[in-house]
Structure 1
Amino acid sequence: MQIDPERLREVGVRLRTLREQRGETQVEVARAVEVHRTYLGRLEAGRQNVTVGTLYRIADHFGVDAAALLPD
């Protein structure tokens, strides 16, 4: 089953917004959550599906609930 591209885009928008609000670069966040910078860039662009483990690491890094990164 395909994931709705609009949902992936929304996850990316939320992730990018949190990162920019904290004034962090993709490199800084990628290092903190132990992913490659290009993977994080694809997440932010809505071109990559996020794994559950990565979702939780990102949420923990930003101090938000994982659900805050997910649309509906």
Structure 2
Amino acid sequence: MQIQVDPELTAPQAGDRNYGLGRVMRDLRKGAGATHAEVAAAMDLGRTSVCNMERGVQAITVEKLYQFADHLDVEVTISFKPKKRGAKKAMPGITDVVLSGAPRA
């Protein structure tokens, strides 16, 4: 028996957060000349998980993101900014927060 799924129902949308991060991961991996298997081994994951993350169908934890970055020798920077001017701020007086660097051992 063969099951076919409509790709319109399963394809990630360009605005999806996982999809956007996955595209960046894919571009970095390809730019470094690394295979899915190499990256997966460094992240202690299966190759399929890395493929799914790049396609935006599987979320990635911050710890796994740092493992990915360490393997490719790139820095992780996470930035929090208000969405638009005049929006209610979660952190009064703080307009920009950036977390950067490697995870704690």
CA distance in 2, matches of 1:64, 1:42: 21
Cα distance, 1:64 vs structure 2: 1.7
5 Å matches for 1:39-54?
Answer: 39-54=49-64
Structure scoring higher RCO (CA < 8 A, sep ≥ 6) equals 1
Cα distance, 1:65 vs structure 2: 2.1
Instruction: Give the structure 2 partner of residue 6 of structure 1.
Output: 16
Q: Flag the structure with higher helix content.
A: 1
In structure 1, the gaps of 5 or more residues are none
Q: Flag the structure with higher strand content.
A: 2
Q: Give me the identity figure in percent.
A: 36
Query: RMSD across aligned C-alpha pairs, in angstroms?
Result: 2.0
Q: Please give the TM-score of this superposition, normalised by the length of structure 2.
A: 0.56
